[in-house]
Structure 1
Amino acid sequence: MKGNHLIETRLIGQAGLSGTGTIGRVTGNLDELPTLPERIRQILNIISSAERKPGYMICFIMYDITSNKVRTLIAKFLLKKGCTRVQKSIFMADMPSDEVQDIAQKLTEIQKMYDNNDSILIVPLSEDYTRAMKIIGQDVDIDLILHSKNTLFF
């Protein structure tokens, strides 16, 4: 039991939630997302890099977590690790594979700390699939932005 508390304390500290006060207390509102154009800009920065760095991978990290406290902890943790929030429960990462493995290991530890039926998915994406991504919403034409639309002139 004491070992779990040490792990929890370490993970909370890594997520930036250490210190006094309630664990679930957050500075700012994590439920508020940046605007859609800002999120698209962040996604495009990830997928449009001219050359992929060796050993890096792009992935989605998605979760379905019922506890507000745990959901907040994981959101702060992923943001601190450099992930980009795409939707409320979906993050995109472009980082070395070993960092993704480290995130997966820490999320597994958190998952084991409490009785739950929650799920966390880490989905690696190939560069081709990332470039073929479709974003639906407002007046956004991602194909035009990515220059993947073909125009024929006669």
Structure 2
Amino acid sequence: MSYDISQDRLRDKLAKLLQQKGCRRVQKSVFFVPDFSAKELKDLRVSVGQCLKSNLDPQDSVLCIPVTKSRLADLVWEGQSAGLQRSLNDDLHLLI
């Protein structure tokens, strides 16, 4: 899950929610989601929607992209992000 939210308070609230739900931060606004069931993913989506309500500015966005473990070999990244490296080694159902 990735987001671009201009309001500090709302951005912090969403990050805290994602961490409470077990998501792993790999960059400031990018989280990997654990291997959730379909119901857990639906519940996460509802929780994110409730967190954001109608507080998003028109230029803000939240993006979820399913990524299978087999596609990780195609991931292009540079840097030494410990969160990313740890996540790549774990069994995660990735939503970037």
Q: 1:115: how far off?
A: 5.4
Gaps in structure 2 of 5+ consecutive residues: 90-96
Q: Deviations over 1:63-86 (max 9, x none)?
A: 010111111100000001000101
**Cα 1:115–1:82 shift into 2, 3 Å:** closer
**Structure 2 letter corresponding to 1:124:** P
Count of residue pairs the alignment pairs up: 82
- Structure 1 vs Structure 2: percent identity of aligned residues? 31
The answer to whether the Cα contact below 8 Å between 1:104 and 1:122 also exists between their aligned partners in 2 is no
Paired with 2:7 and 2:16, the residues of 1 have a C-alpha distance of 14
1:103: which partner in 2? 44
Q: 1:121: how far off?
A: 0.8
**Cα 1:115–1:84 shift into 2, 3 Å:** closer
Q: Deviations over 1:25-55 (max 9, x none)?
A: xxxxxxxxxxxxxxxxxxxxxxxxxxxxxxx
**Cα 1:77–1:115 shift into 2, 3 Å:** closer
- Pair member with larger Rg: 1
**Structure 2 letter corresponding to 1:98:** K
- Aligned-partner SS, 2:75: coil
Which runs of structure 2 are paired with 1:121-136 in the superposition (5 Å)? Answer: 121-136=63-78
RMSD: 2.5
Greater relative contact order structure (CA < 8 Å, 6+ sep)? 2
Gaps in structure 1 of 5+ consecutive residues: 1-60, 147-154
Which runs of structure 2 are paired with 1:36-55 in the superposition (5 Å)? Answer: none
Paired with 2:42 and 2:79, the residues of 1 have a C-alpha distance of 32
